Homo-oligomer: A and B are copies of this chain.
Amino acid sequence: MNAEPLILDGNKVAAEIKVRLASRVEELAVKGVVPCLATVLVGEDPSSATYVRMKVNACNRLGIRSVRIDLPKETTTEQLIEVIQQLNKDPEVHGILLQHPVPHHIDERAAFDAISIDKDVDGVTTEGFAQNAFGFAMFPSCTPAAIMAIMDYYKLQVSGKHAVVVGRSPILGKPVSAMLLNNDATVTTCHSKTTGLEHFVRSADIVVAAVGKPEFVRGDWIKPGAVILDAGYNPGNIGDVDFNACLQHASAITPVPAGVGPVTIAMLLKHTVDAATKRSAN
């Protein structure tokens, strides 16, 4: 039906963001400021370790300093918060990333909320969520921000469109719903208790898959011409969308990998540079 759907190339979007960041990092260097991201990883989950390594490498390539803190899986909530509070106080650290998920015995919400709002470059705090929902966040949650950046880069219309978000997590489904709403989409948020999920997805002009289940969104759920953003990243480099099947119906779609993922990292870098810029101006 759509002979040539547009493949939304996250590497291209990320590259453009990084070019602009590189010159900003140089300007900061002239002032003697080196943006610095602290990453905190708790436990030994191999995927989480990979994500952290990817983020650290991306920092390095751009001249952003990184401080990597790896904590044992037995770390308590109190110990983790103590580490975060030290990073809050450290004037050399501009941004703090606590890699999600943390081990189950840790109160992740309390740990996220220990991050100072000025350093919450991953957009995970309760306060940051609300600022984002009200449209004035300094650092919106990175994956939702990446999704918006991709649509912006490819000039895909959001205003007046019906966006269906599949998933309602605090760091993905909820904030991306809020950002789409603030950009004048009519937004439906679906989840595991939704009755007739296919029906909702079929009515969508924009589909955001943020459910964490491999190839969950099927080709025959897609309205012809819909735009599909796949925020999933499951083992084996598989998204939440059945890419090949959905490609038959969509007008535009992000692949996995090389879709939302690289832009998410670019947003993290951008927020870190923003934080350093803001601090250097104070």
B-contacting residues of A (Cβ < 8 Å)?
109, 126-127, 129-131, 133-134, 136, 159-162, 168, 170, 174, 177-178, 181, 184, 186-191, 193-195, 200
Contacts and interface: CB of A to CB of B under 8 A. Distances in A.
Contact of A187 (B129, B161, B189): B189
6 contacts: A126-B127, A127-B127, A129-B130, A181-B189, A184-B191, A186-B191
B186 A194 contact: yes
Nearest to A137: B126
Contact of A188 (B168, B188, B193): B188
Classify the secondary structure of A's interface with B: mixed
Nearest to A173: B181
Closest 3 CB pairs of A and B: A130-B130, A184-B193, A188-B188
A190 B186 contact: yes
Given A130-B133, A134-B170, A160-B193, 4 more contacts: A129-B130, A159-B193, A184-B191, A187-B188
A193 B174 CA distance: 20
Contacts of A187: 188-189
